[in-house]
Structure 1
Amino acid sequence: MGQPDDAAGARARARHRTVDRIASILECAARSRDGVTLSAIAKELAAPVSSIQSLVNGLVSAGYLDEHDRRYSLGSAPYLLNRLAGRQPVAAVTHTDLEQIHHRTGLTTVLSIAVGPNIFYVDYCSSDPRFAYLAENYVRRSLIRTSGGWILLAGMEKRDLWAYIRNLPEDEQPLADRFFAALPEIEQTGICASPNASEQGDGVSIAVRENGRIVATVGVIAPHAVITQDRDRLVDILKQGAQGWSERDIER
């Protein structure tokens, strides 16, 4: 059976060297459970380190790779794409976990990830249409403006954190001092409670770790007065929730 004229005359898709290299870098990072070094990536691609470095740096900046101790692993951006396609970006936390926290607190409960300089709500449980809109439309929000964002910033490589702070717009620069004052406690506890960093609301968030790394946060959101008044109880509820999904992560 012959091919249609348009198919027979179609040209093969041309390969693009840069795209091929980016795809290979991402695959190399995805296949390495403990992260892969820059030299190992260059060896895998049969390319000089100098020609790979800028691509890797760009992928880290865009959220497609994470760097920890000079080893590279898959970042959060691919998880966001999976979420847009209907796949779950964070294995440790289920929607049922969010529902349970929402039931106990009565507050909007969100699962958040960082992609580059932004935070996205990738799952939620809420009766508040404002937060439903943010979550369902994957609206970008500034990391420095949310309690979950402060935790995700605390989990960054230091050079990426410094770069993020340096590039903050002028109106967000005052929040940097408050973040750095809270940073030691966030690093120790994995909790950020009531940073009062946004005029739109406030929150209490806790880190979600997979393989020892912060990959997301779970948080509750409400007006500042509500969060401040109920802070300790909200922290306890999130700690109890985190114990459950941490145990599931260990079992995997």
Structure 2
Amino acid sequence: MTDTSSATDASDDNGPKNHRTIDRVTQILEEVVYHPGIGFAEIARALGAPKSSVHGFIRGLQAKGWLYEDNRRFYLGPAVYGLTLASGHIRAGQVTQADLDALHEATGLTVFLGVEAGDHLIYIGESGTDALTGFAARSNIRRLLLNTAGGKALLVARPDVDRESYLRRQQAENPELVSEFLAEFADISKTRVARNYRHHGAQLALSTVVRNQAGESVGAAILIGQASEMKPREAKLRKTLLKHVDSWATHKVSAREPI
């Protein structure tokens, strides 16, 4: 007679199994994914767990960059988006890698796709990066909105109340950046394109907001290149950027782009 119990046990050991710690971490991340800006008490309530038992998990995820806290609200941290960027593939279904590649080919410039995470801009896609811009994007994934063209474009697109609240928070630490943004606000609103200089004026960035079919801002497309090469054709680059990004608004959103 054949003993099948040991074979069954071995098969069970090799298969996927729930683990209490992993389940709790996964639940926390899923709550933040689907409810960005969720509070600590709300997370504990959603998990049906006492705050004391959830606290350690959240602080551990913060320490490793999987979550970050802003004004007592939690958002996905740069580690999540860093994996996406490092993989070389976009997982935001509305804008595909082919979309970014087409914009790069039309302009000859580095293209980034950025999204808001709290008060920061995080790149989640790229096309045509050279060694310098690629390294910079990977080594500094989370950027202050006020300090980037993409962030400025997204700030202009925010509801007035949200934008004013953000600017008040930044006034104490970054008064010069706030003043610069306010001086540029009318032009960005009118042209739909924000600009920013980097590396002491050597690099120029142009950005516009990516919107979904409902007209809601969901991200920003950014062109980056040498200022000396971009400035003579800036008007044409702006038109090309708007043309491509406006076409993305008609795309249907899929949960994940195949890789």
TM-score, normalisation: structure 2: 0.62
| Pairing partner for 1:229 from 223, 229, 232 | 232
Alignment-derived partner of residue 203 in structure 1: 205
Conserved? CA contact 1:30–1:73, under 8 Å: yes
Equivalent position of 2:16 in the other structure: none
Q: Which has the larger radius of gyration?
A: 2
User: Structure 2 CA distance, aligned partners of 1:150 and 1:167?
Assistant: 17
Query: Is structure 2 residue 226 aligned with structure 1 residue 220?
Result: no
Q: 1:248 aligns with which of 239, 246, 251?
A: 251
| Aligned Cα root-mean-square deviation (Å) | 4.8
SS of the residue aligned with 2:251?
Answer: helix
TM-score, scaled to structure 1: 0.63
Distance 1:78 1:86 in 2: 13
5 Å-filtered alignment, 1:115-126, equals: 115=117, 118-126=120-128
Query: Contact 1:112–1:121 (CA<8 Å) still a contact in 2?
Result: yes
How many pairs does the alignment contain?
Answer: 231
- In the alignment, residue 27 of structure 1 is paired with which amino acid? E
How many Å apart are 1:76 and its aligned residue? Answer: 7.6
**Compared CA separation, residues 246 and 237, structure 1 to 2 (3 A):** same
Highest relative contact order (Cα 8 Å, sep 6+), 1 or 2? Answer: 2
Change beyond 3 A, Cα 1:39–1:124 = closer
Call closer, same or farther: CA 1:31–1:109 in 2, change over 3 Å. Answer: closer
The offset of 1:241, in angstroms, is: 0.5
Show structure 2 runs of 5+ residues with no match.
Answer: 1-5, 14-18
Contact 2:81 2:122 in 1 (8 A): no
Q: What is the rounded CA distance, in whole Å, between the counterparts of 1:117 and 1:251 in structure 2?
A: 26
Q: What do the CA deviations read for 1:17-48 (whole angstroms, capped 9, x no partner)?
A: xx94x75454235456x998999767534579
Correspondence for 2:185: 183
1:33-70, Cα deviation, whole Å (9 max, x unpaired) = x9989997675345799xx9xx7xx98xx895899xxx
Q: Against the structure 1 CA distance between its residues 113 and 76, is the aligned structure 2 distance closer, same or farther, given a 3 Å change threshold?
A: farther
Is contact 1:151–1:206 with CA below 8 Å preserved after alignment? yes
Cα distance in structure 2, aligned partners of 1:231 and 1:88? 27
The answer to whether structure 1 residue 129 and structure 2 residue 131 are counterparts is yes
* Structure 2 Cα separation of the partners of residues 95 and 150 of structure 1: 23
